[in-house]
Amino acid sequence: ELEAFAERFKQRRVRLGVTQADADVGSALANLKIPGVGSLSQSTICRFESLTLSHNNMIALKPILQAWLEEAEKSHREKLAKPELFSGAEKKRKRTSIAAPEKRSLEAYFALQPRPSSEKIAAIAEKLDLKKNVVRVWFCNQRQKQKRM
């Protein structure tokens, strides 16, 4: 259950465009005014998402992070309901988080063909319901990772 929540938390946090950094999740927790909870460090949130905290710490953090997530999603919905009339500034593209099943599929494709054609990348993207550019960049990153190893 904790593993599923940690994965869900990460996916939803990334979808909201929120980083693990103190300025986002960590310090936003302090604003919730939960008794005994100040801000959390980026490394604590990172370790929660990667399941490298102790079981007791994971259990203690889950309700706190759940409360933050609900508040963040509520704020996001309110922001969407009132779009700014003049938002001339280009927004930075959100970081894409690839879920475990899609990642395993990409790794399997990579094992067969580390340099797929543009058409093959498009087919993989469609099959996995990802953007073509996300798949293309993933393959580029995997090739670079392989070079380093």
**Rounded CA gap, 23 and 36, in Å?**
19
The more confidently predicted of residues 104 and 76 is: 104
H-type alpha helices, 50-114: 55-81, 100-112
1-81 has which CATH code? 1.10.260.40
Q: What's the longest Cα–Cα distance across the chain?
A: 55
Per-domain residue ranges for the chain? Answer: 1-81, 100-147
**Rounded CA gap, 10 and 109, in Å?**
25
Q: Which CATH superfamily is domain 100-147 in?
A: Homeodomain-like (1.10.10.60)
* Digit-coded pLDDT (tens) for 46-74: 888 888 989 998 898 898 888 888 887 88
Two structure tokens written together for 70: 């609900």
pLDDT score for 13: 83
Two structure tokens written together for 18: 């929120």
State pTM to two decimals: 0.50
